[in-house]
């Protein structure tokens, strides 16, 4: 069973990978054996997701599909896309 993590308490997590599906956005997070489902303040778990590559730093940017709440998380172990 996956654990739900609210966006309000997700500050500082490091994302190792992610997947989105009918049940919501699931993050593989450093220090957790199982994937966690990211839940918004509004109670929804469907997000618009974008990986950002800037200056050698990779981050995951999320925006709630329902209310527009935003969050950004550091990513680890992600390689830059090849042109």
* Structural domain boundaries in the chain: 3-75
The reported pLDDT for the residue numbered 77 is 84
Tell me the percentage of the chain whose pLDDT exceeds 90: 73
- Please calculate the CA angle 78-80-83 and round it to the nearest 5 degrees: 150
Strand order in the sheet with 3-6: 3-6, 36-39, 24-29, 14-21, 70-75, 57-64, 47-54
The mean pLDDT value for 27-37 works out to 93
The DSSP code for 32 is -
Q: Are strands 14-21 and 24-29 parallel, antiparallel or unpaired?
A: antiparallel
């Amino acid at each position: 069973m996956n654990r739900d993590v609210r966006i309000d308490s997700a500050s500082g997590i490091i994302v190792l990978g992610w997947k989105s599906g009918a049940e919501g956005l699931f993050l593989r997070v450093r220090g957790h054996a199982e994937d966690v489902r990211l839940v918004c303040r509004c109670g929804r778990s469907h997000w618009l997701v974008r990986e950002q590559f800037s200056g050698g730093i990779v981050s995951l940017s999320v925006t709630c599909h329902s209310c527009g709440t935003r969050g950004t998380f550091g990513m680890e172990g992600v390689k830059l896309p090849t042109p």
